[in-house]
Structures are given as structure tokens and as C-alpha cells.
Amino acid sequence: MLEPDAAHDPNSSPDETPLPAEIDEYLRRLGAALDLPAHVRAEIASEMAGHFRDSIAAIESEGLDPELAAREAIARLGSPTELAAELTSAHRTTRRLLVGAAGGVFHASLGAAGGLLLGIAIVAAAVCGAAVVTGTLLRPPTEFVYASLPALRAAIAGLPMVTALLSWACCLAAFVAARRGVAVSTRISRRTPAAVRRIWAIAGFVTLFVAAVFVVSAPQNLLSALSLLAVPFAFAAGALTNSTPRVSLPRGKAIAAICVLAILSASFARNVPAWSGPPPDVADTPQAHAAQLREFDRVAPAWAYVDGRPVLAEGGGLWGSGVIRQAVGILDPDPWSTSGPAARALSQFKDVRFEAWRAVRFDASPDIAEWIPDPAYSAPYATATADFNTVQFGPGHAEVEFNVGRVRTTEWIVFVTGIGPDGRRYRLNEPEFNMGGGPLVSSFTGTIWQWLTAST
């Protein structure tokens, strides 16, 4: 059982006489030459001090004076550097190295678990703080409670923000794990802290970097990718940080809490649209709507069969982390009938298909924001034949599902087109999206490497 280092200080026990100066110098040189952790050096110094006391007393009892007795005791023990080298070698066994590594990994796992719980608690507290700050400042509290929280759940479900939040918690877990791993590994393996820190920092960084880039598959965007990449850096920082931090904890925690809150507030304000304030409650003016529709004409002009009405009506859009779905129905009084005017108009079109276009925000007027097909693309990302007699929905209805989980684009528009009697392709439904005017939203799901190498 090791005792506290202070107990091994040769000068700490009042019942022990001070050692001669040359013995103190010998012990100082021995300690300096020992390439072992501090607590082991202190223990060896105490043991050797005890040895010198016994040795000098025995030599003095043989008739030598104290000064000569001290020199003789030193001569019997030999060179301090040689003794230090042999003691260092004796302590650095392969068994201790392996046990130290295993113990370090075990304690690092415990530290990671504790750090993850702490990180999640901090992130959750910060998220709540950010919710209060942004919700209170941007909305009346009641609206925040009844509207923002459900909107938040819908907004972040399966999206990269969750990846980012968990990554921040993992950063703290990695930091704590590295510190515990290094401390335990150093103590058991008897290697110097500097060497152990370097090994842990390099091994941990490489392992976590590879895992973050090539293994961990999650909803990704730039924020989540950077957050995930911060985890190996946090581990390396934890490994290289001195085990006895000098930072005043209350002040450090306060600064850390403020920083996290500020970062989260800024991130949420940018990444969660629901928290950027309610959508503007303004009239959809005919001028603005016409301006928006003209933008769609670039892709395919709208076919209106009577009174300016389109052939198809949207049945709502759904989206998940990696897929977007869109349903449409024939715009007749009886949507399941195939003999109404809209159905008859639809029957004149060939190659009726769903088209998934990358969307960009389009400010039709200062008060109205809509999404239109991205002008940077001249063709849809994907198409699928529209079947208006599906088993699931019956006649007059069609639905499509596009897998866009491996594309970095996250906002989409899906509509139906067909080749009309004049041989030109027309848009058959009006671009009203998701009942709220927004685009279909997807998120990239995969590793960082897949995200980096994915198409936009």
C-alpha cells in the first residue's frame, strides 16, 4: 500500500535526525536521475534515506566518525545515476505496462461514461437556457411553451443538430476520459507522465479521428462534422493537460457555462428555424405569387386546365432524415373519381412523373419567402414515374419517396410534370409546399468522409 508522498519525505518525520549534506545531495541526484513518476521517486527517496540512516549508524558503531561513515555508506550504495538506472529498469516491467494500459483504458471508459452524462446534462441545461433566452426574447412566453417546444422537436428530430449536440457532450467525455486514463496509466505503468500523455494523446487522437471520419454514421452538415471532429482534439487536449489543473474551478465552470450557452444560442438561432421567430403573418399577394410562379416557369410552365386551376393538388409532404416523400391528388371535386375534368386533363399527358429539385430560398416580396428550384441546376436530381392508381391510395392519388440521404443538399421541391398534347413538358401541380410554404427537408446521414465526398 503506498502512502501519501508527504509521508515519504525524509525530513517530514520529527523522530528522524537530519541527514548529512552529502547524503542529501546523493538523494537529490538519485531523484533527478530516476525516470519515474513523482510519487515513485518520493517513495524511493524515503526508502533510501532510511537505508542511509541504518547504514551510517552501523558504520559509526564500528568506530568511524560521522563524516567518514556517511562517505562509506555512499560508497557501498554506489553511483546514484547507476542505481537510478537500475531502479528505473526494475520498475518498468512489461507486466506493469500492460496492466497500466488496461487499467488506463478501464478508467478512461469510466471517465467517458461520467463525462458523457455530465456533458449531456450541461448540453441539456444549455439548450434549455438557450430556449429560454431565444424563446423569451423572440416570442411571448406562452407561445414559446405551446408552440416552440413541439416545433423544436420536429425541427431537430434526426437532423444534424442532434449530432452536433451529442458531439459536444462527447467532447467533454473524451476530455475526462483522457485525463483519467493518463493518470491511471502513469501510476500503474511507472512511465513518466510526459511519455504516457504523448502516447495517449496520439493513440486516442488517431483512433477517435478515424472513428469520427470513417465509422460514426449520423445526420451530417458542416456544424455536425466540425463538432464530431472536435472530439479527437478534446481527447488529445485532455491527455496533454496536466493532471492537476490550476484553473479556479468555480470561475472556470462559470466561463465554460457562459461560452457553451453563447455558442448554443448562436447555433440554435441559425440552425433551428422555429426559434428564429414566427413566420411573417402577411398576405400572399397576387403579385408576389405571380413572381414566384414565373421562377418555376424556368423549369416547366404550369398547365392550367380551367379557371387557372392546376391539374393536381398536393396531399402533403413528409420528410425524414434521409428521405423525402410527396403525395398528390387529382384536383377534382371527387378526388377518387377518374372521370372529372382534372382527371380527363391528366389523361392527355404522357410520361407523367415526379421530379425532385434542389430548392433555394426565393424572396418573392419583402414579406414572403418561398422556395424555388435551384437555378444552378438545369435538371431534377431524380425522377420517378407517377402512378395514379396505387394500391395504397387508390385511384386519383400518387405518392413518391426519394432517397436523398447521401446528398449534401437538404432542401427540396417535388412536383409532377408531364408531356402535354403539344409535346412540351408542363408542371401539373402548383408549387405549394408542405402546407407551410417551406421546402421538403432532408439531412445527410453517413460518416464525415461520406459527407465530404458526397455530391451537393
Positions in the binding site for another protein (CB under 8 A): 1-3, 7-8, 13, 15-16, 43-44, 46-48, 50-51, 53-55, 58, 76-79, 82-83, 86-87, 89-91, 93, 95-96, 190
Minimum CB distance to another protein smaller for 54 or for 334: 54
CB of 26 to another protein, least distance (A): 12
Minimum CB distance to another protein smaller for 42 or for 116: 42
CB of 15 to another protein, least distance (A): 5
Minimum CB distance to another protein smaller for 79 or for 285: 79
CB of 19 to another protein, least distance (A): 12
CB of 50 to another protein, least distance (A): 5
Minimum CB distance to another protein smaller for 46 or for 271: 46
Minimum CB distance to another protein smaller for 2 or for 149: 2
β-partners of residue 385 are: 353
Distance CA 278, CA 371 (A): 17
Distance CA 320, CA 322 (A): 6
Q: How far apart are the first and last CA of the chain?
A: 61
CB of 90 to another protein, least distance (A): 4
82 φ, ψ to 5°? -70, -40
Helix (H, G, I), strand (E, B) or coil at 179: helix
Helix (H, G, I), strand (E, B) or coil at 361: strand
CB of 64 to another protein, least distance (A): 16
Minimum CB distance to another protein smaller for 7 or for 263: 7
CB of 12 to another protein, least distance (A): 10
Continuous segment of H or E residues that includes residue 67: helix 66-77
CB of 67 to another protein, least distance (A): 19
For 145-222, list the strands marked E by DSSP. Answer: 218-220
Minimum CB distance to another protein smaller for 86 or for 334: 86
CB of 9 to another protein, least distance (A): 11
CB of 48 to another protein, least distance (A): 7
CB of 49 to another protein, least distance (A): 9
What region, left, alpha or beta, does residue 63 occupy, with left being phi > 0 and alpha being psi -120 to 50 degrees?
left
